[in-house]
């Protein structure tokens, strides 16, 4: 398929759409598109079969071999050639980016989460900070989590801030949204096998290091300020705490979740030896 070439030389309607997609959640929802940049993110999008709606290229600039290869492989319907000054407005990286990509938002369908007996899923309860959300997604990717569910009202996983904090891992791990605990329960009941739900809590039932993490498991991490909602807490079979010392009253939610994921992976590795 030969892409449509659209040249943007001014702050016209096409440019305004592209600029708005980078910062406006509602526009992303309405168009079904979101923007990514950087070599790692675009390579991950290619590797994981994301649909490239368009590529955005600085007009009159020679591309590297990598950039030219992306133009060939992505199969985007449109190539926007944007004057250098306009491209710099669209790009977030201080050092500049060679390409930007518009990707198609995936279906918000629980079927995208794994439904196998070795299920490993993380629930994020109303995450309110895109940096924390992205960092948690990065850790989920690093520790082999099969999918992430965002529960309740939250920041947008497809914001550029969250994608940047994830270092592109959003493109490797399926992410879906549940409106609330009731929808989580319906998903669990529909799996056809028993799954333990483990909550992260600073006053948890037992220490994380003592938990076996065996079998299909869902880890629920609470909101940065309010912790786990009452509804999600009711779904938990057990809550785990991470003992801390010093003057800190608690751990950042992304840090705490990463520690639990490490404990989880350590127990999995020990059983497989």
Do 46 and 65 fall into the same domain? yes
Determine the structural domain holding residue 56 and report its residue range.
4-104
Do 27 and 53 fall into the same domain? yes
Domain end (from 104, 137, 157): 104
**How far is Cα 178 from Cα 181, in angstroms, rounded to an integer?**
8
**pLDDT tens digit string along 204-236?**
899 999 999 999 999 999 998 888 999 999 999
Q: What is the CATH number of the domain that holds 90?
A: 3.30.1330.30
Do 79 and 146 fall into the same domain? no
- What pTM was computed for the model? 0.92
Q: What is the CATH number of the domain that holds 220?
A: 3.40.1280.10
Q: Is 98 exposed, middle or buried (0-12, 13-18, 19+ CB in 10 A)?
A: buried
Please, what is the average pLDDT of the chain? 93
Do 232 and 114 fall into the same domain? yes
Total domains in the chain come to: 2
Longest dimension (CA), the chain: 61
Do 152 and 197 fall into the same domain? yes
Do 83 and 131 fall into the same domain? no
Would you state the pLDDT for residue 168? Answer: 94
* Mean pLDDT, rounded, for 132-140: 97
In the chain, what percentage of residues exceed pLDDT 70? 98
C-alpha separations of 205 from 27, 199, 238 in Å: 43, 10, 6
C-beta separation of 166 from 203 below 8 A: no
Would you state the pLDDT for residue 225? Answer: 85
Domain end (from 88, 104, 120): 104
Q: Is the pLDDT of residue 171 over 80?
A: yes
Do 137 and 242 fall into the same domain? yes
């Amino acid at each position: 398929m030969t892409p449509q070439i659209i040249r943007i030389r001014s702050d016209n309607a096409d440019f305004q759409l592209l600029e708005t997609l980078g910062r406006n959640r509602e526009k992303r929802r309405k168009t079904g598109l979101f923007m990514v940049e950087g070599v790692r993110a675009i390579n991950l999008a290619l590797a994981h079969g994301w649909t490239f709606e368009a590529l955005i290229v600085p007009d009159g600039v020679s591309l590297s071999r990598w950039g030219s290869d992306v133009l060939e492989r992505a199969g985007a319907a449109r190539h926007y050639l944007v004057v250098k000054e306009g491209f710099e407005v669209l790009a977030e990286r201080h050092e500049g980016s060679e390409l930007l990509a518009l990707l198609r938002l995936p279906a918000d369908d629980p079927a995208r989460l794994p439904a196998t007996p070795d299920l490993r899923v993380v629930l994020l309860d109303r995450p309110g900070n895109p940096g924390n959300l992205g960092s948690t997604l990065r850790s989920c990717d690093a520790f082999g989590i099969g999918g992430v569910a965002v529960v309740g009202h939250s920041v947008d996983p497809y914001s550029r801030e969250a994608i940047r904090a994830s270092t592109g891992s959003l493109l490797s791990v399926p992410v879906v949204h549940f409106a609330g605990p009731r929808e989580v329960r319906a998903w669990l009941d529909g799996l056809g096998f028993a799954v333990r739900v483990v909550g992260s809590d600073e006053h948890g039932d037992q220490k994380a290091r003592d938990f076996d993490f065996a079998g299909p498991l869902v880890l629920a991490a609470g909101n940065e300020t309010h912790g786990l909602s009452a509804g999600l807490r009711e779904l938990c079979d057990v809550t785990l705490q991470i003992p801390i010392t010093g003057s800190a009253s608690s751990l950042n939610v992304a840090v705490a979740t990463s520690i639990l994921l490490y404990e989880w992976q350590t127990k999995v590795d020990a059983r497989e030896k």
